[in-house]
Protein backbone atom coordinates (compact mmCIF):
# COMPACT_ATOMS: atom_id res chain seq x y z
CA UNK A 1 0.00 0.00 0.00
CA UNK A 2 1.52 3.31 -1.04
CA UNK A 3 0.63 6.87 -0.19
CA UNK A 4 0.43 9.18 -3.18
CA UNK A 5 1.70 12.73 -2.68
CA UNK A 6 0.25 15.51 -4.83
CA UNK A 7 2.17 18.64 -3.95
CA UNK A 8 1.27 19.23 -0.34
CA UNK A 9 -1.87 17.08 -0.51
CA UNK A 10 -1.81 13.42 0.46
CA UNK A 11 -4.40 11.49 -1.50
CA UNK A 12 -5.73 9.34 1.31
CA UNK A 13 -7.48 6.92 -1.04
CA UNK A 14 -4.36 4.82 -1.38
CA UNK A 15 -3.36 2.58 -4.24
CA UNK A 16 -3.49 -1.11 -3.50
CA UNK A 17 -0.57 -2.53 -5.43
CA UNK A 18 -0.89 -5.99 -3.96
CA UNK A 19 -3.52 -8.49 -4.99
CA UNK A 20 -6.49 -6.17 -4.53
CA UNK A 21 -5.54 -4.30 -7.67
CA UNK A 22 -6.60 -0.74 -6.88
CA UNK A 23 -9.24 1.59 -5.57
CA UNK A 24 -11.26 4.48 -6.91
CA UNK A 25 -9.05 7.59 -7.03
CA UNK A 26 -9.88 10.37 -4.61
CA UNK A 27 -11.56 13.39 -6.12
CA UNK A 28 -10.67 16.96 -5.37
CA UNK A 29 -14.14 17.57 -3.95
CA UNK A 30 -14.50 17.37 -0.21
CA UNK A 31 -15.96 14.06 0.97
CA UNK A 32 -19.37 14.41 2.53
CA UNK A 33 -19.51 13.76 6.25
CA UNK A 34 -21.00 10.37 6.83
CA UNK A 35 -24.45 9.49 8.00
CA UNK A 36 -25.92 12.97 8.29
CA UNK A 37 -23.09 14.36 10.39
CA UNK A 38 -24.56 17.08 12.56
CA UNK A 39 -21.55 17.86 14.71
CA UNK A 40 -20.78 21.51 15.37
CA UNK A 41 -18.13 22.98 13.10
CA UNK A 42 -17.06 25.56 15.67
CA UNK A 43 -13.33 25.19 16.35
CA UNK A 44 -12.34 23.85 19.74
CA UNK A 45 -11.02 26.61 21.97
CA UNK A 46 -7.46 26.18 23.17
CA UNK A 47 -8.26 26.99 26.80
CA UNK A 48 -5.48 29.58 26.83
CA UNK A 49 -5.46 33.32 26.36
CA UNK A 50 -2.29 35.37 26.18
CA UNK A 51 -0.35 32.44 27.59
CA UNK A 52 -2.57 32.13 30.68
CA UNK A 53 -4.97 29.30 31.39
CA UNK A 54 -8.49 30.53 30.73
CA UNK A 55 -10.40 28.07 32.92
CA UNK A 56 -12.42 28.20 36.09
CA UNK A 57 -10.51 26.19 38.67
CA UNK A 58 -12.94 26.94 41.49
CA UNK A 59 -15.53 24.40 40.36
CA UNK A 60 -15.69 20.79 41.56
CA UNK A 61 -16.52 19.74 38.01
CA UNK A 62 -14.65 19.65 34.73
CA UNK A 63 -16.87 20.93 31.97
CA UNK A 64 -16.66 19.14 28.64
CA UNK A 65 -17.90 21.41 25.82
CA UNK A 66 -21.32 20.29 24.64
CA UNK A 67 -20.21 19.67 21.05
CA UNK A 68 -17.35 17.46 22.29
CA UNK A 69 -19.17 15.18 24.70
CA UNK A 70 -19.37 11.48 24.02
CA UNK A 71 -22.91 10.14 23.95
CA UNK A 72 -24.27 9.81 27.48
CA UNK A 73 -21.35 11.71 29.05
CA UNK A 74 -21.68 15.17 30.53
CA UNK A 75 -19.12 16.57 32.95
CA UNK A 76 -16.62 14.86 35.23
CA UNK A 77 -15.32 15.51 38.72
CA UNK A 78 -11.94 17.21 38.71
CA UNK A 79 -8.86 15.43 39.99
CA UNK A 80 -5.55 16.78 41.17
CA UNK A 81 -3.70 14.63 38.60
CA UNK A 82 -4.04 11.79 36.12
CA UNK A 83 -2.45 9.38 38.57
CA UNK A 84 -4.83 10.46 41.34
CA UNK A 85 -7.78 9.75 39.05
CA UNK A 86 -6.44 6.32 38.13
CA UNK A 87 -5.88 5.47 41.78
CA UNK A 88 -9.65 5.71 42.31
CA UNK A 89 -10.36 3.03 39.70
CA UNK A 90 -10.23 -0.75 39.48
CA UNK A 91 -7.07 -2.42 38.24
CA UNK A 92 -8.77 -3.29 34.94
CA UNK A 93 -9.74 0.33 34.38
CA UNK A 94 -6.31 1.61 35.42
CA UNK A 95 -4.53 -0.75 33.04
CA UNK A 96 -6.81 0.19 30.17
CA UNK A 97 -6.38 3.93 30.67
CA UNK A 98 -2.63 3.56 31.06
CA UNK A 99 -2.54 1.74 27.72
CA UNK A 100 -4.56 4.53 26.07
CA UNK A 101 -2.24 7.15 27.51
CA UNK A 102 0.84 5.29 26.29
CA UNK A 103 -0.70 4.96 22.85
CA UNK A 104 -1.03 8.75 22.68
CA UNK A 105 2.48 9.53 23.94
CA UNK A 106 1.36 10.58 27.42
CA UNK A 107 -0.92 13.31 26.08
CA UNK A 108 -3.90 12.24 28.21
CA UNK A 109 -2.06 13.01 31.46
CA UNK A 110 -2.72 16.11 33.53
CA UNK A 111 -1.03 17.45 36.66
CA UNK A 112 -3.75 19.76 37.96
CA UNK A 113 -7.47 20.41 37.72
CA UNK A 114 -6.69 23.40 35.51
CA UNK A 115 -4.78 21.21 33.06
CA UNK A 116 -7.54 18.60 33.21
CA UNK A 117 -10.04 21.30 32.21
CA UNK A 118 -7.77 22.54 29.42
CA UNK A 119 -7.45 19.06 27.92
CA UNK A 120 -11.21 18.53 28.04
CA UNK A 121 -11.75 21.92 26.38
CA UNK A 122 -9.21 21.07 23.69
CA UNK A 123 -11.06 17.89 22.79
CA UNK A 124 -9.00 15.20 24.54
CA UNK A 125 -11.28 12.37 25.71
CA UNK A 126 -11.74 12.22 29.47
CA UNK A 127 -11.03 9.02 31.41
CA UNK A 128 -14.79 8.54 31.76
CA UNK A 129 -15.27 8.75 28.00
CA UNK A 130 -12.51 6.22 27.33
CA UNK A 131 -14.13 3.84 29.81
CA UNK A 132 -17.57 4.42 28.28
CA UNK A 133 -16.40 3.48 24.78
CA UNK A 134 -14.21 0.52 25.77
CA UNK A 135 -16.86 -2.21 25.59
CA UNK A 136 -19.02 -0.75 22.82
CA UNK A 137 -19.10 -3.24 19.89
CA UNK A 138 -17.43 -2.15 16.66
CA UNK A 139 -20.68 -2.03 14.71
CA UNK A 140 -22.34 0.16 17.35
CA UNK A 141 -19.38 2.55 17.53
CA UNK A 142 -19.40 2.93 13.75
CA UNK A 143 -23.14 3.67 13.92
CA UNK A 144 -22.56 6.34 16.58
CA UNK A 145 -19.79 7.89 14.47
CA UNK A 146 -22.18 8.14 11.54
CA UNK A 147 -24.66 10.12 13.66
CA UNK A 148 -22.08 12.91 13.81
CA UNK A 149 -21.06 12.73 17.47
CA UNK A 150 -17.54 14.21 17.49
CA UNK A 151 -16.12 11.96 20.21
CA UNK A 152 -17.64 8.87 18.58
CA UNK A 153 -15.88 9.83 15.35
CA UNK A 154 -12.62 10.25 17.25
CA UNK A 155 -13.01 6.86 18.90
CA UNK A 156 -13.84 5.27 15.54
CA UNK A 157 -10.57 6.57 14.04
CA UNK A 158 -8.72 5.26 17.09
CA UNK A 159 -10.30 1.82 16.87
CA UNK A 160 -9.76 1.44 13.13
CA UNK A 161 -6.11 2.43 13.61
CA UNK A 162 -5.79 -0.42 16.10
CA UNK A 163 -7.34 -2.90 13.66
CA UNK A 164 -5.43 -1.88 10.55
CA UNK A 165 -1.96 -1.22 11.94
CA UNK A 166 -1.00 -4.85 12.79
CA UNK A 167 -2.01 -6.03 9.32
CA UNK A 168 -0.16 -3.36 7.35
CA UNK A 169 2.86 -3.65 9.62
CA UNK A 170 3.38 -7.13 8.19
CA UNK A 171 1.93 -7.09 4.67
CA UNK A 172 -0.27 -5.28 2.19
CA UNK A 173 -4.01 -5.73 1.90
CA UNK A 174 -5.19 -8.67 -0.17
CA UNK A 175 -8.16 -9.41 -2.35
CA UNK A 176 -10.13 -11.16 0.39
CA UNK A 177 -13.46 -10.21 1.98
CA UNK A 178 -11.71 -9.52 5.29
CA UNK A 179 -9.12 -7.20 3.78
CA UNK A 180 -11.70 -5.45 1.61
CA UNK A 181 -13.61 -4.64 4.78
CA UNK A 182 -10.41 -3.36 6.40
CA UNK A 183 -9.84 -1.17 3.37
CA UNK A 184 -13.34 0.26 3.66
CA UNK A 185 -12.84 0.99 7.34
CA UNK A 186 -9.45 2.55 6.66
CA UNK A 187 -10.64 4.95 3.95
CA UNK A 188 -13.71 5.91 5.99
CA UNK A 189 -11.52 6.56 9.04
CA UNK A 190 -9.14 8.71 6.99
CA UNK A 191 -12.09 10.81 5.87
CA UNK A 192 -13.24 11.12 9.48
CA UNK A 193 -9.75 12.19 10.55
CA UNK A 194 -9.67 14.88 7.87
CA UNK A 195 -13.10 16.20 8.83
CA UNK A 196 -12.09 16.28 12.52
CA UNK A 197 -9.00 18.33 11.69
CA UNK A 198 -11.11 20.77 9.74
CA UNK A 199 -13.99 21.06 12.20
CA UNK A 200 -12.36 20.88 15.63
CA UNK A 201 -8.73 22.00 15.30
CA UNK A 202 -8.21 19.89 18.40
CA UNK A 203 -4.67 18.71 19.20
CA UNK A 204 -6.16 15.28 19.74
CA UNK A 205 -7.54 15.32 16.20
CA UNK A 206 -3.96 15.92 15.02
CA UNK A 207 -2.74 12.88 16.96
CA UNK A 208 -5.57 10.82 15.47
CA UNK A 209 -4.66 11.89 11.94
CA UNK A 210 -1.07 10.88 12.55
CA UNK A 211 -2.13 7.48 13.87
CA UNK A 212 -4.53 6.57 11.06
CA UNK A 213 -2.18 7.68 8.28
CA UNK A 214 0.69 5.80 9.91
CA UNK A 215 -1.48 2.71 10.44
CA UNK A 216 -2.65 2.92 6.83
CA UNK A 217 0.84 2.93 5.34
CA UNK A 218 2.88 -0.11 4.42
CA UNK A 219 5.03 -0.91 7.43
CA UNK A 220 3.33 1.75 9.61
CA UNK A 221 5.67 4.56 8.65
CA UNK A 222 6.41 7.00 11.51
CA UNK A 223 6.53 10.21 9.46
CA UNK A 224 2.77 10.98 9.75
CA UNK A 225 3.13 10.91 13.54
CA UNK A 226 5.89 13.53 13.51
CA UNK A 227 3.71 15.71 11.29
CA UNK A 228 0.90 15.23 13.82
CA UNK A 229 3.10 16.48 16.67
CA UNK A 230 3.88 19.62 14.69
CA UNK A 231 0.22 20.25 13.96
CA UNK A 232 -0.83 19.53 17.56
CA UNK A 233 1.58 22.24 18.69
CA UNK A 234 -0.02 24.62 16.19
CA UNK A 235 -3.39 23.70 17.68
CA UNK A 236 -2.29 24.67 21.19
CA UNK A 237 -0.75 21.60 22.83
CA UNK A 238 2.46 23.05 24.28
CA UNK A 239 3.64 19.53 25.20
CA UNK A 240 3.68 18.34 21.59
CA UNK A 241 7.23 19.43 20.82
CA UNK A 242 8.52 17.34 23.72
CA UNK A 243 6.55 14.36 22.42
CA UNK A 244 8.04 14.94 18.96
CA UNK A 245 11.63 15.12 20.19
CA UNK A 246 11.26 11.91 22.19
CA UNK A 247 9.56 10.13 19.29
CA UNK A 248 12.26 11.16 16.82
CA UNK A 249 14.93 9.92 19.21
CA UNK A 250 13.22 6.54 19.23
CA UNK A 251 12.79 6.50 15.41
CA UNK A 252 16.00 7.79 13.82
CA UNK A 253 16.47 8.06 10.08
CA UNK A 254 13.01 9.27 9.10
CA UNK A 255 12.43 10.93 5.74
CA UNK A 256 12.30 14.70 6.21
CA UNK A 257 10.52 15.30 2.90
CA UNK A 258 7.74 12.89 3.87
CA UNK A 259 7.30 14.65 7.22
CA UNK A 260 7.03 17.98 5.41
CA UNK A 261 4.51 16.56 2.93
CA UNK A 262 2.30 15.04 5.62
CA UNK A 263 2.44 18.19 7.73
CA UNK A 264 1.55 20.33 4.70
CA UNK A 265 -1.38 18.06 3.89
CA UNK A 266 -2.71 18.02 7.46
CA UNK A 267 -2.30 21.79 7.80
CA UNK A 268 -4.01 22.43 4.45
CA UNK A 269 -6.89 20.16 5.45
CA UNK A 270 -7.30 21.86 8.83
CA UNK A 271 -7.39 25.31 7.27
CA UNK A 272 -9.56 24.48 4.28
CA UNK A 273 -13.10 25.82 4.44
CA UNK A 274 -15.74 23.25 3.60
CA UNK A 275 -17.30 23.92 0.23
CA UNK A 276 -20.95 24.89 0.22
CA UNK A 277 -23.20 22.25 -1.40
CA UNK A 278 -24.15 22.92 -4.98
CA UNK A 279 -27.68 23.78 -6.10
Residues of the chain with pLDDT under 70: 1-59, 74-75, 273-279
Question: Do 12 and 167 form a contact (C-beta atoms < 8 A)?
Answer: no
* Closest by CA position to 38, among listed 199, 161, 182, 250: 199
DSSP-assigned letters across all residues of 89-112: S-HHHHHHHHHHHHHTTTTT--SS
pLDDT confidence of residue 32: 32
pLDDT confidence of residue 168: 96
Question: Do 102 and 109 form a contact (C-beta atoms < 8 A)?
Answer: no
pLDDT confidence of residue 62: 82
Question: Do 129 and 151 form a contact (C-beta atoms < 8 A)?
Answer: yes
Measured CA to CA, the distance from residue 33 to residue 23 in angstroms comes to 20
pLDDT confidence of residue 1: 41
Measured CA to CA, the distance from residue 38 to residue 8 in angstroms comes to 29
Measured CA to CA, the distance from residue 274 to residue 278 in angstroms comes to 12
pLDDT confidence of residue 74: 67
Digit-coded pLDDT (tens) for 195-233: 999 999 999 999 999 999 999 999 999 999 999 999 999
Measured CA to CA, the distance from residue 159 to residue 185 in angstroms comes to 10
pLDDT confidence of residue 106: 96
Amino acid sequence: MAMVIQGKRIVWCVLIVMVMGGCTPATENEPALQGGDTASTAPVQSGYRDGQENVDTGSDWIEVPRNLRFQGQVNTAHSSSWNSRLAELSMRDRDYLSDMNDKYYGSLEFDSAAEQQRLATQGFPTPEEWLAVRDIPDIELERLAKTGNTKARMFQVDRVSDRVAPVLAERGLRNTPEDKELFRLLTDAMQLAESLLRETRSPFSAYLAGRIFSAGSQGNRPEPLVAAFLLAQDFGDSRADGFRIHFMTMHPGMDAESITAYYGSFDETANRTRQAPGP
